[in-house]
Every structure is written in structure tokens, then in C-alpha cells.
Amino acid sequence: MDLKLPSHVAIIMDGNGRWARARNLPRVAGHYEGVKSAESVVRLSRELGIKYLTLFAFSTENWKRPREEINALFELLEGYLKEKKEELYELEVRLRFIGRRDRLPQSLVKLMETIEAESDKFNRLVLNLAVDYGGRDDIVRAVNKALTEGKKKLKEEDFSAYLDLASCPDPDLLIRTAGERRISNFLLWNLAYTELYFTETLWPDFREEEFTNALRDYSSRERKFGGILNE
């Protein structure tokens, strides 16, 4: 593929519920199928040489869902991570988690910490999983951290360093599946100049071909960052 590739791709993985409903299945069946799409995107990103992939798995607003679905989502995530972590290490994927940890099940938080420590040495692909993540919450936590350190005034770059994605460049491309055209409180600060790509495809149907289409579209974009192109 002769494409100008993004170095950081962020994805709002949406449409699992609709995918399941269309098949008369429980919503959680859509989440299970969605995991396979996440795997496929991880593998292709790694093969293509994309350096950072950030996936929105659970938002600070998703607590509004029925307890049953919330529990199923955390069980799915924990089970998946336990089962697949070694495979991800073999692929030299470094896993990191962004978002709050104070409201998640203890066992999940422990596993997240273990995985972050164990995969620390890899750098083929950095995979950030956003769990109990909200862009506003990220900003407020960052402000509070700075205040706790006694900071009185900050520059943009100093402020970025307090955010969950401090060590990653801003996303070059944001993909949202399932037809919704909104940010839903994802990376509010970091998406300032990100190229946006929306597709009707539901997340469980978003596999290699769909991802390649998004990358091709990105490749044709002219990024100006407020400047003008050299002619």
C-alpha cells in the first residue's frame, strides 16, 4: 500500500448494540464480535507501521447503561486481556490504559497495572485503551494534578504533559463507526487538529478492508494546521 500513513489513529468503536439488534441477539453479542474488529485493527496497524492506536472502550458516560451491560463489558475486557496478553506481547505491543481507575473493578485495575508493567519494554505499536475515559475528566484531572504540584501558570505544552496521553503525539486520524458524527467526550484536547473520518459501518463489521479505506481517505487529506500549502 503506497499511502501516507498516520502515526497515531484514534477510534470511537460504535455500533455494537445495533449490530446485535439487527440479528436479534443480546447487545453483549455485539460487544464480543466488536473485540474481533479491535484485534484486526491492532494487527493491521502493527503490520503497516502505525505507531500509536487509541481505542475508546468505555466512556465516563457509559455508566448510564444498565448494570448488566456494564458488568458484561468489564468481564469481556478482563477475560480478553487475560487470554490475549501473551499474544500481544509476542507482537511487541505496548499496552497502556487511559481514563479513571477509581471506579473500575479492583481485579481489572490490577490486571491493567500488570499489563502496563509487563509490556513496558515493547515499542512496535503503542495501544492505548480508553476505559472510564472522558475528555473533560482528563482535562480536570490534569488541572488538579498541576494545582497539587503548586503550579500557578502553565503553557500549552506544560499542560499537555498532565493529560493521560502525555507521552503520545496527537492523533492524526480519528475514526468513528456506526454513522454518528460526534466526539462523545473522547480526546477533547488532543483532537484539536485531527482529521475526522466517519463511516456508516458498524464496529463489528469494521475489519481490514474498512480500515484500509479509512487510511486511504486520510492519505488524500491536505493538512494545513492553520497555515498555507507551499505551491
Task: Please report, as a single letter, which amino acid is at residue 156.
Answer: E
Nearer to ligand IPE, 75 or 120 (CB): 75
The least distance separating ligand IPE from the CB of residue 13, rounded to whole angstroms, comes to 5
Question: Binder to ligand IPE among 8, 9, 10, 12 (CB under 6 A)?
Answer: 12
Residue 163, classed as helix, strand or coil, is coil
Phi-psi region of 130 (alpha: psi -120 to 50; beta: other; left: phi over 0): beta
Strand 93-98 versus strand 173-176 pairing type: unpaired
Distance CA 198, CA 178 (A): 8
Q: How far apart are CA 21 and CA 177, in angstroms?
A: 16
Do the Cβ atoms of 164 and 98 come closer than 8 Å? yes
Give the chain's count of helices (H) and strands (E).
7, 6
Q: How far is the CB of 74 from ligand IPE (least distance, A)?
A: 10
13 contributes a contact to Mg ion by CB under 5 A: no
Cβ proximity to Mg ion, 50 vs 202, nearer residue: 202
Among 5, 7, 18, 139, binds ligand IPE (CB under 6 A): 18
Q: Does 16 bind ligand IPE (CB under 6 A)?
A: yes
For residue 205, give the 3-state DSSP assignment. helix
Tell whether residue 58 is a contact of ligand IPE (CB under 6 A). yes
What angle (nearest 5°) sits at the alpha carbon of residue 52, between those of residues 117 and 13? 100
- The residues that are catalytic are 14, 62
CB of 157 to ligand IPE, least distance (A): 28
Tell me: does residue 210 bind Mg ion (CB under 5 A): no
Smallest distance from Mg ion to CB 40, Å: 20
* Residue given cell 480536570 in the structure block: 140
Binding of residue 165 to ligand IPE (CB under 6 A):
no
Contact pick of 14, 33, 78, 164 for Mg ion (by CB under 5 A):
14
Closer CB to ligand IPE, residue 133 or residue 162? 133
Q: Which residues pair with 58 in a beta bridge?
A: 131
Q: How far is the CB of 110 from Mg ion (least distance, A)?
A: 28
Cα separation, 164 vs 216, in Å, equals 29
Binding-site string for ligand IPE from residue 73 to residue 102, where x marks contact by CB under 6 A and - marks none: x-----------------------------
162-to-1, 108, 117, 167, 188 alpha-carbon distances in Å: 36, 24, 20, 10, 14
Binding positions for ligand IPE, rule: CB under 6 A: 12-18, 56-59, 62, 73, 178, 180, 182, 184
Binding positions for Mg ion, rule: CB under 5 A: 14
